[in-house]
Amino acid sequence: MEEKQMMIEEEEIVIVGGGIASLATAVVLKRVGFHSRVLESHSELRTTGAALTLAPNAWFALRALGVDHKLTSVYQSFNKSVVTNLETGVRQEVNNLTGKNDRQYLGRGIRAGFVPLNSKELYWFFLDDSSSLGKDISINPDIILKEVTENLAKDFPSDYLTVAKHADLSTLSWAPLLFRVPWNVAFGQAQNGNVTVAGDAFHPMNPDLDQGGCSSLEDAVVLARCLSQAQKVADGGQQWQQEGLKRYVEERRWRVTWIAAGSWFSGWSQKGGGNGENYLSNALRWFRDRVFYKFVFPRLTESVWFDCEI
């Protein structure tokens, strides 16, 4: 039986996956003097996922990567949200430090809205706990649009429905939100020898503070910095890699735990705790409309000013 010859290549650093955290890590590692190889199962670029909001901490990270100037001239900054309570019709303006200038609509267990991306494009979304679409992420986009416009959001204001009805069907997707409970992020294993995780592999979170992609960019910068610092103080042994990864995990663990918990609480509060009619849901909607946006949300968004310098 003829033996197959296997080619073995040695790399200084191997990055598995071609997502935001992986590509950003490869860029910043090069800036601090490391060579890396990115492994991706798909052979070409794909348009997947949702919009990426760039809060101030993301811009700080992009500056560390040396690419911020390529985006500042394309996308303008926004900092205000107009939130409409669909049950009462009350509208309120909310200072939004996450970089958005959006419109949001809140109901019983429902949160929806749209965000302008530039002068020609915008991103719209719909969050719901009770849709008949379930968790099928491969569903026909025509069915997605029909479910939203003719069922879930049929009584929404005309500006939202106009946006939804004119959507490019090829851009529509319906998927469950992934979330890792904060105590698993805080106490779970994020390093094994010379292996660690970053981005959604480390801390998948709700999109309600727009920090999924932003935190992934932070991961890249902090990881490269910790490896670089560990190498500089190494005594010639081979343990500096593990020490660098250990520093990275220790520095990131509690910050991303706080952000993940804050994102979940923000989403839960804004959706009024669900679509039920009970004391807890009514109390939470009262809390959302009178307390959350004025006092709690500004505290949660303070996290977006973190600067992860190299």
| 83-129 per-position pLDDT tens digit | 999 988 888 888 765 555 688 999 888 899 998 877 788 889 998 87
Per-residue pLDDT, averaged over 41-70, amounts to 85
Per-residue pLDDT, averaged over 166-170, amounts to 90
Please check the confidence at residue 46 and state whether its pLDDT lies above 90. Answer: no
In this prediction the pTM is 0.89
Give the list of residues 6+ apart from residue 18 with CB closer than 8 angstroms, or none.
38, 39, 40, 42
